Chain A
Amino acid sequence: MATTTPTAPPVPAARTVPRRRTRKSGWWLPYALLAPAVVLEVFIHLVPMLTGIWMSFTQLTRFFIRDWTSAPFVGLRNYQVALDVDGAVGRALLSSFGITCAYTVLVVGISWSLGMAAAVALQRPFRSRALFRTLFLVPYALPVYAGIVTWNFMLQRDNGVINHLLVEDLGVMQDKPFWLIGGRAFASIVIVAIWRMWPFAFLMLTAGLQSVPDDVYEAAAMDGAHAFRSWWSITLPMLRPVNLVLVLVMFLWVFNDFNTPYVLFGTAQPAAGDLISFHIYNASFLTWNFGAGAAMSVLLLLFLLLVTGTYLIALNRRSRRA
């Protein structure tokens, strides 16, 4: 199974004479085809990223926005401030980092589990399967702001459905708690993010399951494997290539998540829901200290590179051993 190297080139078809000739004379063609994509990626992603790294060494405040090259160079001072856990800025960044790690583990883990459960439950046809598949995809299809603003309404203390459900309908709580300020804000943001993220896991895993042939299960059933065994020893290994990509993509999306806290909390951000992207955004645009914000962004990028690199290397090693 060619599952371990997702980017491995497919075996080229037998080369015919005319193709080889055009390849020689048209060597520039692939570059021409790529040029628009490259130019745009360089302009919108690479150049700003390099500029951002450069900015992180300067004291770029609002006085220099229109003339950013004249911002004073301060060396590593922005990094020192960001990493100094005894100072106010560093302590706030560290706490935001911790919250983001907990948030990411919970959201990715639970979203994956729910997506897997639903994908397996809907794997084989039954009446109204299409209906539920469609329903489950709606949170992913909704524009971010429309879905999350609805949750904002639902989580309002006095006129929201959640408190009504918990206090009046089910009676599991005596007083109506605040969900969008204080410590419970963390639970709120995790639930909202899972609500939005799990359908993506469901979608990817459903797509992956379609490539598992039915006769494998039939053979397993004949051997007497029950449902969990056949999931563990057939479905999971067959889904490995999908899972590798899915977990990495979800990790990056969730760790960088800005939309959920921004739409859910607005400007009144509670400390418990202070995710790192949102934290950096506020540090930059509320205090107009772009140099400090850029330094924090670079630190975030380094962390993501480290995690992704470790993940990919670990996978490569394991697949080589296998």
Chain B
Amino acid sequence: MHDTRAFKTFRAAVIVVLAAVTALPLYIMVTSSLKPLQDVRGAFSWWPSTITFQPFIDMWTTVPLARYFVNSLVVSSAATIASLVIAIFASYAVSRYRFRGRSVFTTTVLSTQMFPGVLFLLPLFIIFVNIEQGTGFQFVGTRIGLVITYLTFSLPFSIWMLSGYLDNIPQELDEAARVDGCSPVGALLRVVLPAARPGVIAVAIYAFMTAWGEVLFASVMTTEANRTLAVGIRQYSTQTNVYWNEIMAASLVVSIPVVIGFLLLQRHFVAGLTAGAVK
């Protein structure tokens, strides 16, 4: 089947416009990170007056970026792993068993996605402060508090997406494993999970991106000790100078891990979404 001329014109127009709009901020981010400070302070220019890699060196000392980076990495990785394990068990139950309370669970979990973050931000903050007073166990200003909070953010969508994915894996597979003497959990871990790899990868990407990019709770739950990149990157503009070239360099560096990870694995993400949404 051939594409008509009208369709080709439409396609070219859509691609040119959207590519330009999408690429402009990326172009600005990259070129500005290579500019000396006077270039980003004065009138805008499309190209650096001299190309310098100094912003990529200075950005680590202007603010303690390395510490924020490590905090974000530890918090996001721990939240992703925990969320993944919990979501795998929960979605296996939802996909493979018909039990009392199943629809209550799926509806409630999905509806937590609807809660405005501010509604439970304040109470959660106060609950954390009070737990600390009662037991001495610190949640505010620690990484563990962020990990627990963030993993629940990705959990509902992960369970929904993964159970959709598991529904597409034939039950005969579990049954064959059970006949061979596997326990239900053994069948999940040894047979179903490997077959669901793309879905698991999709959920992992989603959970990591959620934690890596979270701003609202990070702005309240972090102190200097556990500050993540989301809040830390703002420190460049609270100084007397706005180091735009260093902000752009830092933005570029903190984006690269997630963008590359996402783009490499996006095929699995699309497959996972298809399974979840097109049920």
Binding site for B on A (CB under 8 A): 2, 6-10, 12-13, 16, 18-19, 22-23, 26-27, 29-31, 33-34, 36-38, 40-41, 43-49, 51-52, 55, 65-66, 68, 114, 117-118, 121-122, 124, 126, 132, 134-147, 149-151, 153-154, 158-161, 163-164, 195, 199, 203-204, 206-208, 210-211, 214, 217-218, 221, 226-227, 241-242, 245-246, 249, 252, 256, 258-259, 262-263, 266, 276-277, 280-281, 284-285, 290, 293-294, 297-298, 300-301, 304-305, 308
User: How many angstroms from the CA of A29 to the CA of B90 in the assembled complex?
Assistant: 11
Q: Which residue of A lies closest to B252 (CB)?
A: A146
Task: Please state if B129 and A66 are interface contacts (CB–CB under 8 Å).
Answer: yes
State in angstroms the CA–CA spacing of A55 and B121 once bound together: 12
Of B53-61, B191-199, B263-271, the segment with at least 4 beta carbons within 8 Å of chain A is B263-271
Chain A residue numbers with a CB within 8 Å of B86 are 36-37, 40
Picked from B118, B126, B213, B262, the residue with its CB within 8 Å of the CB of A137 is B262
Partner of B263, one of A30, A134, A143: A134
Q: In whole angstroms, how far apart are the Cα atoms of A227 and B1 in the complex?
A: 12
- Separation in Å of the B63 CB from the closest CB of chain A? 13
B residues sitting closer than 8 Å to A (CB atoms) are: 1, 3-4, 6-7, 10-11, 14-15, 18-19, 21-26, 28-29, 32, 40-44, 85-87, 89-90, 92-94, 96-99, 101-103, 105-106, 108-109, 112-124, 126-127, 129-130, 133, 148-149, 151-152, 155-156, 159, 167, 170-172, 175, 178-179, 184, 209, 212-213, 215-216, 219-220, 229-230, 233-234, 237, 244, 247-248, 251-252, 254-255, 258-259, 262-263, 266, 269-271, 273-274, 277-279
- B residues near A300, Cβ cutoff 8 Å: 116, 118-119
Q: Which residues of the other chain, B, contact A12 by a CB distance below 8 angstroms?
A: 98, 171
Cβ contact of A121, chosen from B14, B101, B133, cutoff 8 A: B14
B25 A256 Cβ-Cβ under 8 A: no
Per the bound structure, the CA–CA distance linking A10 and B3 in Å amounts to 38
Give the CA-CA distance A13 to B176 in the complex, in Å.
Answer: 13
Chain A residues whose C-beta falls within 8 Å of the C-beta of B98 in the assembled complex: 9, 12
Q: Would you call B254 and A143 a contact (CB within 8 A)? A: yes
In the complex with contacts A27-B99, A143-B213, A290-B126, A41-B155 CB distance below 8 A: yes
Interface SS majority for chain A: helix
- CA separation between A144 and B216, bound complex, in Å? 11
Write 29 A-B pairs (CB below 8 A) sorted by A numbering: A8-B279, A18-B178, A19-B178, A22-B184, A34-B94, A40-B155, A45-B112, A47-B123, A48-B123, A49-B119, A55-B126, A121-B11, A124-B3, A126-B11, A141-B255, A141-B263, A142-B259, A143-B229, A146-B252, A149-B234, A161-B28, A164-B44, A221-B1, A227-B10, A256-B116, A259-B213, A294-B123, A298-B119, A301-B116
Across the interface, B277 reaches (CB within 8 A) one of A33, A142, A241, namely A241
Known: A18-B178, A30-B97, A49-B123. 10 other contacts (CB 8 A): A8-B279, A31-B93, A33-B90, A65-B129, A141-B255, A143-B229, A143-B254, A159-B40, A164-B44, A203-B266
